[in-house]
Structure 1
Amino acid sequence: MSQARTAVVARLTDLGFAAGWHAVRLLPEPVARGAFDRAGRWAAGRDGRGTRQLRANLRVVTGGRLSEAELGELTARALRSYARYWQEAFRLPAISSERIVADTEVVGVEHLEKARAGGRPVIMALPHSGNWDAAGVWFIDWLDGPFMTVAERLRPESLYERFVAFRESLGFRVVPLTGGPRPSTEVLRDWLADGGATCLLVDRNLGSGGVPVEFFGRTATLPGGAALLADRTGAALVPVVCQFTGRGWRLVFAPEVPVAGDGRLRDRVTTAMQAVADAFAAAIAGQPEDWHMLGRIWADVPPDPPARPGAGAPPTPDGR
């Protein structure tokens, strides 16, 4: 793709998101839900690259036990779930925090309470599942204050700024993954040292490093930063998976993952991230349609081949 076309696509994407945040929140909720549900169905029928990668990923998650027809149905549900995320993201600034808290089911919150009762900072490690922005509103209410998170740089810069403004409007503290005045790891470390809490998406490695883990029986690479921060700050590393319910949302907390101990730091970080991956897998397996992984995370699991010639996917930034 030429630079000029790339710039045009980026600009149109930015304008599309700007229109979404303005227009979708003005629609009656049933109308918005119906429109985005139809968009999810359309994406499933279009069979673009992201859809084909999602189907391949879900084949791994379900252990190859589903027929191709059943896998297709699961993929369609997953795309409708993903569309629901975007519909809610566009409307979230107009939804009251009281409603979000009231409509959120919580499983295993005692693991979070144990860490906070001991006066320790908390690192909540999440996958791209359900609606983690809505979960963030619940976190802020439970913490009685903000938490800090990291945002991936998007192009154009105006789109990145829209996502930062959106999340800051919900009460998040956001630092850029790259390009900030200070490295994001330093900012997070200082925040945790002051007793703060952070939420980090860790089921996809965006950097050149990372640690190998077994995830649904295959080797994947996860970023090790969450475990490294826990070791350096004494924070509790708590995996949590967000899911949708018919009415609202569900948060599934797993027990704290220990990081401190004897042995080499890299080995302890790898062991900790394996435990995080295991916690993710247990929850994702129970409701796989809410895991919105349209990218490649296993080296040996490419997208499925196109069902028809010319299948493609519209450019969508991974703003989550």
Structure 2
Amino acid sequence: MSPRRDQLLERLADAGYAAGWRAVRMLPEPAARGLADLAGGWAARRDGAGVRRLRANLRVVTGGRLTEAELDELTSRAMRSYARYWQEAFRLPAIGPERILSRTTVPGAEHLEKARADGRGVVLALPHSGNWDAAGVWLVDWLGGPFMTVAERLRPESLYRRFVAYREELGMRVVPLTGGDRPSSDVLREWVAGGGSACLLVDRNLGPGGVPVTFFGRPATMPGGPALLAARTGAALHPVVGRFTDDGWEHVVHPEVPVDGPGRLAERVATAMQGVADAFTAGIAERPEDWHMLGRIWPDVPADPPRGRAGATA
């Protein structure tokens, strides 16, 4: 593909997101939600590469217990849930924090209260489940100020800036995963060591290396950043798994995963990230349709083949 065509496609992608942002915000909320639900169902039926990957991931999550028809139905619900996330992403700043907070429940919030009573910051590790931006609105309110998060650098740069501006409008501080003035790990460490808190999406390892974990009974890797950050700053590490309710959001805070104790730092980080993976496994299994993972997680699990072809495996 030529550089000129790459640039054109990037501009079209940015223009498409911008148009979607404006259009969805202008629609009445019931219409926007109905349209998102239809779009999610249509995408599931279209059976593109991301949907086939999602179906393969959900087969692992459900332990291969579902028939193919049941798995198709779960995949369709998952795509409608994913479409709901994007519909809310376009509208969330316009909804306003008061309404978001009134429709949010946080089981396990007492774990965070204990960390605050002990004078510690928190490092929250999340999967791509439910609406993590809505979780951020709740966290900003609970903290009484911003927290820091990391964003993958998107192309084109204008699209990346659009997403950064959106999340900063919700009250977050955003640093780029790559391409910043300083390594994101250094910026995060200084922020948390200075009394701040951080919120990180970690169910998929985007960089080289990563920490080996067992996730839903299969080998995978997750970034060790949350555990390393907590170990180096004394912050409390808590897995949080989000899900949708009929008219709002639920964010389940799991107990602290310890990162201190005997042993080398690398060993403690690996043990802690396995604890995070175990919490994700339990939380996602309760409502798998709200786990929006259209990327590869397990090296030994390929995407499902297109419909009509044999070869899908559990």
TM class by shorter chain equals over 0.9
Q: Matched residue of 2:91: which SS? A: helix
Residue in 1 aligned with 2:312? Answer: none
Q: How does 1:213-232 map onto structure 2 within 5 Å?
A: 213-232=213-232
Distance 1:293 1:285 in 2: 13
- Equivalent position amino acid for 2:268 in 1: R
Distance 1:118 1:238 in 2: 15
> 1:92-122: per-residue Cα shift (whole Å, max 9, x none)?
1101101100100111111111111100011
Distance 2:275 2:150 in 1: 22
The structural deviation recorded for 1:142 is 0.9
Residue in 2 aligned with 1:284? Answer: 284
Q: Matched residue of 1:123: which SS? A: strand
Residue in 2 aligned with 1:20? Answer: 20
Extract structure 1 runs of 4+ deviating beyond 4 A.
Answer: none
> 1:205-248: per-residue Cα shift (whole Å, max 9, x none)?
01102010000000010000110111110110000011100010
Distance 2:266 2:119 in 1: 26
Distance 1:73 1:21 in 2: 28
Residue in 2 aligned with 1:239? Answer: 239
Give me the CA root mean square deviation. 1.0
The structural deviation recorded for 1:90 is 0.2
Question: TM-score under structure 2 normalisation?
Answer: 0.97
Residue in 2 aligned with 1:57? Answer: 57
- Equivalent position amino acid for 1:60 in 2: V
Q: Establish whether residue 90 from structure 1 lines up as the match of residue 90 from structure 2.
A: yes
Which ranges of structure 1 fall in alignment gaps of 5 or more residues?
310-320
Q: Matched residue of 1:240: which SS? A: strand
The structural deviation recorded for 1:48 is 0.2
Question: TM-score under structure 1 normalisation?
Answer: 0.95
Distance 2:107 2:302 in 1: 34
Residue in 1 aligned with 2:5? Answer: 5
Distance 1:83 1:220 in 2: 26
Distance 1:2 1:166 in 2: 31
- Equivalent position amino acid for 2:7 in 1: A
Residue in 2 aligned with 1:250? Answer: 250
- Equivalent position amino acid for 1:159 in 2: L
Relative to structure 2, which stretch is displaced further, 1-10 or 213-222?
A: 1-10
Residue in 2 aligned with 1:47? Answer: 47
Residue in 2 aligned with 1:262? Answer: 262
Residue in 1 aligned with 2:127? Answer: 127
The percent of aligned pairs where both chains have the same amino acid is 73
Distance 2:132 2:64 in 1: 28
Which ranges of structure 2 fall in alignment gaps of 5 or more residues?
310-314
Q: Matched residue of 1:185: which SS? A: helix
Number of aligned pairs?
A: 309
> 1:107-145: per-residue Cα shift (whole Å, max 9, x none)?
111111111110001100000000000110011111111
